[in-house]
Amino acid sequence: MSQATEAGPATARPARLPPTTDDGFVGWLRKNLFSSIGNSITTIVVVAFLVWLITWFVDWALLHATFRAETGKDCAKSSGACWALIGEKFRYIFFGSFPYEQHWRPLFAIITMIAMLLLSSDRRMWNWRLAVIWPVGSFITFLLMFGQIHIPVTLIFLVALIAGLGGFLLRRDVADQGERVAYMALMAIGAVYLVLRILGVLPGLAIPIAPFSYVETGLWGGLAVTMILATYGLAFAFPYGILLALGRRSNLPLIRGLCVGFIELIRGVPLISLLIMASLMLPLFLPSGMNFDKFLRAQVAVILFAGAYIAEIVRGGLQSLPKGQFEAADAMGLNYVQKTVFIVLPQALRVVIPPLINTFIGFFKDTSLVLIIGIFDFLSTSNQALVDPLWTGYPGEVYLFAAAVYFFFCFSMSRYSKYLERELNKGTQR
């Protein structure tokens, strides 16, 4: 700075390094931490506190911790953490009351779900591959969890009908003759079978796949339950929410009214009340002896609830699109489905990624509410571990452990959201 007042062009002089007190580590310290007396005092106090906190934590969590013990009593001899409790209980916390010797099944189910989620987080998979990954992944997950699955033949034909219908609507104008015939054939086969099945001409058959012993949902617990509720809750709620959002902006008053009514009704009540309705009221309304699986009821409640919230987020994205986009799509001669799938949604969803992931993270944690209807999710099994009278008095360890697991999942989602924002906004970032 002082050079500026001296004579002569700046380039003629050799550039000098800044004073060492302004540069490097010392300089950084001076500038950021000790720039004034007040700041210096704050720095010293905060550093002292952090050092105290970290020493205390290391001392508690590592140096004086007990890693092996028969019961909680043995932990009491030392002042530190009782990690032996986690060692004793982690299998219960992760897998709940699933038969002990078969814990590998929920373990691999969790791994399958994580793999499925990781694969579908890659943009290169965002095409027909998703339609392979999810059915295959879900099939493996539920086969491991249930042990036995009976696939109704009706379902296969229903899928054929939907696939044919979807393909026909989306690719009507671009597909060649053969492809169109294929779609129509799929639709026709599906429709004919379903009609005959409804009329009772064909018997209801199922294909049994039963490699393991059957484990009912009442025995599921722990992380597997949390992950299934969250993953499938959101996987179904997402398309459902998009449909609701589109319906809310529809020109047809009936559809619009239904969607608005549903969204406002669901958003107007807490998730707990929906869960209690599903678990307390529904069984009383159903005919005696007829009972839906409790887990399924909770899953449906989560889907309905998440769907309403996602719908409002997606609607925000739809509204941010300039009208010209819609008009341009109309001018190109695209029909409603094509316009929505190829023009509107890709742009609208890109805008709403941060709030969407925010909702996902929220719902991942909200699934712990299912405890109130007697389903043992990850947090409930952690709580259950605390009740054991042989291992009492160490809630901190268990909650820290549970928090670490929750943090792992939520932080991963948050990082992924960041990455996705960067990826999808490349076009607008020049």
Partner 1 sequence: MLKQTLAAAAGIVALAGVSGVAHAGPDLDAIKARGHIICGVGTGLAGFELADSQGKWTGLDVDLCRGVAAALFGDAEKVKYVPTTAQQRFTALQSKEVDLLSRTTTWTLTRDTQLGFDFTGVNYYDGQGFMVAKKLGVKSAKELNGATVCVSPGTTTELNLADYFRANKMSFKPVVIEKVDEIRQAFFSGRCDVYTTDASGLYATRAANAPKPDDYIILPEIISKEPLGPVVRHGDNQWADIVRWTHYAMLEAEEYGITSKNVDEMLKSDNPVIKRILGVTPGMGKALGVDEKWVYNIVKQVGNYGEIFERNIGAQTPLKIERGLNALWTKGGLQYAPPIR
Closer residue to partner 1, CB minimum distance, 82 or 242: 82
User: Is 213 among the residues that bind partner 1 (CB under 8 A)?
Assistant: no
Q: Give the CA distances from residue 104 to residues 136, 138, 164, 262, in Å, rounded to whole numbers and listed in that order.
A: 19, 17, 38, 41
User: Is 107 among the residues that bind partner 1 (CB under 8 A)?
Assistant: no
C-alpha span between 36 and 31 (Å, rounded): 9
Note whether 418 and 106 are within 8 A (CB): no
User: Is 80 among the residues that bind partner 1 (CB under 8 A)?
Assistant: no
User: Is 390 among the residues that bind partner 1 (CB under 8 A)?
Assistant: yes
Smallest distance, partner 1 to C-beta of residue 289, A? 6
User: Is 286 among the residues that bind partner 1 (CB under 8 A)?
Assistant: yes
Residue keyed to tokens 């399924």: 296
Q: Which of 113, 98, 142 is nearest to 296 (CA)?
A: 142
Among 158, 235, 326, 388, binds partner 1 (CB under 8 A): 388
C-alpha span between 418 and 430 (Å, rounded): 18
Note whether 89 and 223 are within 8 A (CB): no
Among 115, 386, 405, 413, binds partner 1 (CB under 8 A): 386
User: Is 216 among the residues that bind partner 1 (CB under 8 A)?
Assistant: yes
Among 21, 148, 392, 425, binds partner 1 (CB under 8 A): 392
Query: Site residues for partner 1, window 303-362 (CB under 8 A)?
Result: none
Closer residue to partner 1, CB minimum distance, 298 or 314: 298
Among 2, 288, 428, 429, binds partner 1 (CB under 8 A): 288
Tokens (6 digits) for 158: 């229903």
User: Is 284 among the residues that bind partner 1 (CB under 8 A)?
Assistant: yes
Span near partner 1 by CB under 8 A; candidates 27-35, 156-164, 205-213, 274-282: 274-282
Among 1, 12, 17, 387, binds partner 1 (CB under 8 A): 387
Pure H helices in 268-394: 271-276, 282-285, 294-320, 323-331, 336-338, 345-351, 353-366, 378-387
Smallest distance, partner 1 to C-beta of residue 375, A? 8
| 66 beta partners | 82
Closer residue to partner 1, CB minimum distance, 196 or 281: 281
C-alpha span between 30 and 40 (Å, rounded): 9
Q: Which of 304, 231, 315 is nearest to 268 (CA)?
A: 304
Smallest distance, partner 1 to C-beta of residue 382, A? 11
- Output phi, psi for 330, to 5 deg: -60, -40
User: Is 221 among the residues that bind partner 1 (CB under 8 A)?
Assistant: yes
- Total number of residues binding partner 1 (CB under 8 A)? 42
152 residue type, one letter: P
C-alpha span between 303 and 237 (Å, rounded): 5
User: Is 74 among the residues that bind partner 1 (CB under 8 A)?
Assistant: no
Smallest distance, partner 1 to C-beta of residue 72, A? 8
Closer residue to partner 1, CB minimum distance, 189 or 219: 219
Smallest distance, partner 1 to C-beta of residue 271, A? 15
Q: Which of 153, 186, 193 is nearest to 168 (CA)?
A: 186
Smallest distance, partner 1 to C-beta of residue 363, A? 21
Q: Determine the Cα angle at 78 with ends 73 and 47, to 5°.
A: 135
Note whether 382 and 401 are within 8 A (CB): yes
Q: Give the CA distances from residue 71 to residues 76, 162, 380, 390, 398, in Å, rounded to whole numbers and listed in that order.
A: 10, 56, 21, 6, 15
Q: Which residues bind partner 1 (CB under 8 A)?
A: 88-89, 91-92, 95-100, 216, 218-219, 221, 276, 279-280, 283-284, 286, 288-289, 291, 294, 371-376, 380-381, 383-390, 392-393
